[in-house]
A and B are shown apart, each in its own frame.
Chain A
Amino acid sequence: MVTPGPTRPDRRTFLRITAGAAVVLPLAACSSDAGADTVRIAYQQFGSGTNLKDWLSASAKTFTAAHPGLSVELVPIVAAENDYFTKNELLMSSPRTSADVVYEDSFIMLSDVGAGYLRPLDAHIKTWDHWGDVVKASREAFTAEDGHVYGAPQTTDTRALFYHRDVFEEAGLPSTWEPTSWDDILEAARAIKDSDSEAAPLFIFSGKAQGEKASMQGFEMLLYGTTSRLYDEDTKKWVLGSQGFVDSLSLLRMIFEEELTLPVSQHLDPNISESIYSTMIPEGKLGILLDGSWITRNWAEGSPGEWPEWTEKVGLAKMPTKDGQDPGTLTLAGGWGLTIPQHCRDEDAAWAFIEAATSTENSLAFAIADNHITVRKDVAAKKEYQEYAPSVEFFTDLLATAYYRPALPAYPEVSAAIQEAMEAVMSDAADPKKAAADYDAAVTDIVGAENVQEESR
Chain B
Amino acid sequence: MSTLAPERPATGPVRPRRRRPAGIGDRLTLRRAAPMIPAAVLLVLFMAGPIIYSLDLAFTDKAIRGDGASKTSFVGVSNFTDALTDGDFWNSVVLTILFTLISAVIGQNLLGLLLALLMERANRVISFAITSIVIAAWILPEVVAGYLLYTFFAEGGSLDGILGLVGIPPQTLLFSAPIVAVSFANVWRGTAFSMLVYSAALGAIPGDVQESAAMDGAGPMRRFTSITLPLLRPALATNLMLITLQTLSVFGLIFIMTGGGPDRKSQTLPLYMYEQAFSYGQLGYGTAVALLLLLIGAAASLVYLRLLPEEEKR
Contact = CB atoms under 8 A, between A and B. Distances in A.
Contacts of B259: 208-209, 270
Contacts of B64: 86, 89-90, 115
Contacts of B154: 269, 271
A35 interface: no
Contact of A268 (B70, B261, B279): B261
A82 B278 contact: yes
Size class of the B contact interface (CB-based, 8 Å): 20 to 34
B49 interface: no
A153 interface: no
A321 to B, nearest CB: 30
Contacts of B150: 271
Interface stretch (A21-29, A331-339, A409-417): A409-417
Q: 9 nearest interchain CB pairs?
A: A409-B66, A115-B69, A116-B70, A111-B65, A265-B175, A268-B262, A265-B172, A114-B66, A111-B66
Contacts of B262: 207-209, 268, 423, 427
B69 A116 contact: yes
B155 A112 contact: no
18 contacts: A85-B65, A90-B64, A93-B69, A111-B65, A111-B66, A115-B66, A115-B68, A115-B69, A115-B70, A117-B65, A208-B264, A265-B174, A268-B262, A271-B150, A412-B280, A416-B280, A423-B262, A423-B263
Contact of B65 (A115, A207, A416, A429): A115
Nearest to A209: B261
A207 B259 CA distance: 12
Interface of B: 63-70, 150, 154-155, 172, 174-176, 258-259, 261-264, 275, 278-281
Interface SS of chain B: helix, strand, loop or mixed?
A: loop
Contacts of B66: 111, 114-115, 408-410
B280 A413 contact: yes
Contacts, number: 84
Nearest to B86: A445
A208 B175 CA distance: 12
Contacts of B67: 114-115, 409
Given A90-B64, A408-B66, 11 more contacts: A89-B69, A114-B65, A115-B67, A207-B262, A209-B259, A269-B175, A270-B261, A271-B150, A409-B63, A409-B67, A416-B275
A19 B270 CA distance: 41
A15 interface: no
A93 B263 CA distance: 34
B279 A412 contact: yes
A420 B275 CA distance: 14
Contacts of A89: 64-65, 69, 281
A269 B70 contact: no
B64 to A, nearest CB: 5
B263 A108 contact: no
Contacts of A265: 155, 172, 174-176
Contacts of A420: 263
A264 interface: yes
A84 to B, nearest CB: 12
